[in-house]
Structure 1
């Protein structure tokens, strides 16, 4: 069958052996480095990022194995014997792959076979490796171009037909893949590259091709694609969950942008809600200037269950509380919203702080999703200046007076949700005009490596805040005090999210 004329291929000149040896050495060193990275990349089915990195390492190893095999063949050069084409110039010989070096596993990627379909003599010549790729006994003979589709997956027949037609009719080089099903039922993906060989009259005398088993390579690539897609889905889910958690948190926590003062005209009455734009004063011997702030963890990736709250009560007292629920994401913020709603409702009903802790403990103990939490709850009476408070496994409030600070002596109280029927104590402290009360969660200034169970280690960072006593005492408002604390404790070394609430007793 005639085909377009092509320029005769010149005889390939062997490359410089030293240059090839250098490339082989570089490839072996690189493969050793990738192997080391792969060993250090522990496979964890629960971590999409680790699975993706492991798959990329496997893919790199396969590519380097293939490159090493090809460079080895290049170093050996062409075989001494070449098969001439009847009536035409000699066809390029296809070098058989050399055996892999001892100690290196043979990859399916290194399987390379050659074939030549002689149209003039109606003969087919296959290399031994090609028989192994097709799982065919050499005694059964090589497959002709007409028989080849019987091994190819039906859906890949058009691809094979197009490649053969382009080569034999159009005289074009071919480069493509198709899947075969061997007689033992195993499926292989074969990559075929070839071109027509012309006789003296410019007609197609034969078609020769190199066929490579790339099954393992394609499986590894598929693993990379799937793990990458899984990682992207996980990241998208994490971003969505974080957005929902942030929106829920912002909907629950008071959005204070300035000092908040509790209004009132006497016990049991309120003069109206306080707003940042228009702070009011509590009618009594003392007022409370309150400000608070939420600090996300240093990475900013996770939103936890920390909360703060301040609310005037119908009897003229003020509720101050902070707390922390274990976990992160929507689960933690929704649990926080449940506890905060219950706390507000019971405080309005006149429940004392110790009873409040007991009710919150019961809520967590009977919740459908078990969790642990810590909290501190304070009731401040502006008529008497007394502070009644209780805590559940939480850092005690810090009291600053006359330029010094100390932690209040904590009453009995274990973590919320740790035990059914837990009993919580209650303490009372007398506040004076000018006193400063700081409530915070334990992630405010927790430093890496601290052991919370070791009393000698200040894992909550309370001392770090107490050291700010001179600056806090000189501050003119609660909001300025919050800014001082955030500047000190809001750095990159903080490993957890936190809340801080400052209440300043006025005159």
Structure 2
């Protein structure tokens, strides 16, 4: 067949073989590197519950697929229109996954003067046609095209033959084996010596697997974005719920009615610094009808809006029972029953204290929680804890109660167990007790809290934490 003169440019000369070989070598080297990174980063399986992992895997597979496709195209360009069935050894795994048709490019020419058609062997394979059969004419070509796409193909061919417009579009084909493939056709009118359209030339490429990979990337990206949006919404709801339930943590928590032997209070919630969702830690100080004061800190295991909602329920129960006069040990017993019988059982720890300003005594109980720290005369110590297990750990758990006599100027420090920034460091109690001289010099509860924040408020923290300090008045 003589060289064609296309409507917009002369036929280009094929590149030198050595140049194409160099491109093939570079492509295969890059393909091997990308495939190695994919295997290292994503492994052989993907967690179906992790949208980010699925998205990353889909992107790697798309990159490997496109490089594999480029390799075969360059090989066809180097060797001419013969069918390329050999797969380089380093690409055998990729080829077996994506199929042998994804990289084939077929060509065809339809002569308008003789109504003859000429197809390459690759085009027969792409369309699933018997190589012994005659190639389809332009009038017959729509018979293998999906019914919904036939008008699109007809419009493209008409524009090419009548108006000289290039063909560049995709459509689906229905193969004899029942499968449906997506192909991309690019073509141009071929002009004769007097400038009339003599034939139409086209290149057809099977892009089914490429489009599948692109859809996988798009779908996993959309899933990841939805997951992130849900996570952001849940985090915002959890923060708003926590801020609505906990007392203000900027400044002192002074009780509405002062009294001799009363308390100067300050507290703070410290969020995790590692990007974890907000947890279920709480603190509270509440003046009770009998003149005593409730001091409590605690937390539920887990993170997210569900845990924060559970924290709000627990804190509401603590307040209600404390106002009704329930003593700390009995209160924790009822909390354990509440958590154990809830629709979504979980574990929690809590510290419940009841301070009597008239007698200057602290009655307290704990459920698997760090004991209060008492600072007096420049030294500190942890109070000896009564019996108590984690809330929700066992049905019908019994909780002991202890009592401590306090003095004017004593400082109580209550905290949750997420206060230590990183695992493997000295226990929080030891580091807090070492602050005794500085806490003794502090003028009020707010300044004491600042001392604690200087030590624990910076650096990396894996979980939420709460700190409440109470100074005994004169």
Match in the other structure for 2:75:
72
Match in the other structure for 2:38:
38
CA contact (8 A) 2:6 2:188 kept: no
Match in the other structure for 2:468:
501
Match in the other structure for 2:253:
260
CA shift for structure 1 position 476? 1.3
Q: 1:119 is matched with which residue: 83, 93, 112?
A: 112
Per mean C-alpha deviation after superposition, the further-off stretch among 379-388 and 483-492 is: 483-492
Per mean C-alpha deviation after superposition, the further-off stretch among 479-488 and 39-48 is: 479-488
CA shift for structure 1 position 180? 0.7
1:101 aligns with 2:101: no
Match in the other structure for 1:161:
154
TM-score, L = length of structure 2: 0.93
1:425-504 equivalences in 2 (<5 Å): 425-448=400-423, 450=424, 458=426, 461-504=428-471
1:173 aligns with 2:166: yes
Of Structure 1 and Structure 2, the greater helix share is in 2
Taking the aligned partners of 1:31 and 1:490, their CA distance within structure 2 comes to 48
Match in the other structure for 1:313:
288
Match in the other structure for 1:129:
122
Partner SS state of residue 364, structure 2: strand
CA shift for structure 1 position 353? 0.7
Q: 2:230 is matched with which residue: 233, 237, 243?
A: 237
CA contact (8 A) 1:197 1:205 kept: yes
Taking the aligned partners of 2:426 and 2:406, their CA distance within structure 1 comes to 26
Deviation per residue, 1:204-261 (Å, 9 max, x gap): 1111111110000001100100001111111111111111111111111011432233
Match in the other structure for 1:250:
243
Taking the aligned partners of 2:12 and 2:314, their CA distance within structure 1 comes to 83
Deviation per residue, 1:465-495 (Å, 9 max, x gap): 2222222221111112222222321223210
1:56 aligns with 2:98: no
Q: 1:341 is matched with which residue: 300, 316, 319?
A: 316
1:398 aligns with 2:391: no
Unaligned runs of 5+ in 1: 80-93, 263-273, 275-279, 451-456
Aligned CA distance change for structure 1 residues 503 and 11 (closer, same or farther; 3 Å): closer
Aligned CA distance change for structure 1 residues 486 and 121 (closer, same or farther; 3 Å): same
CA contact (8 A) 1:440 1:498 kept: yes
Taking the aligned partners of 1:489 and 1:257, their CA distance within structure 2 comes to 16
Taking the aligned partners of 1:102 and 1:314, their CA distance within structure 2 comes to 82
How much is the aligned-residue C-alpha RMSD, in angstroms? 1.9
Unaligned runs of 5+ in 2: none
CA shift for structure 1 position 311? 0.5
Partner SS state of residue 54, structure 1: helix
CA contact (8 A) 1:97 1:112 kept: no
Deviation per residue, 1:173-226 (Å, 9 max, x gap): 211110111111101000011111111111111111111100000011001000
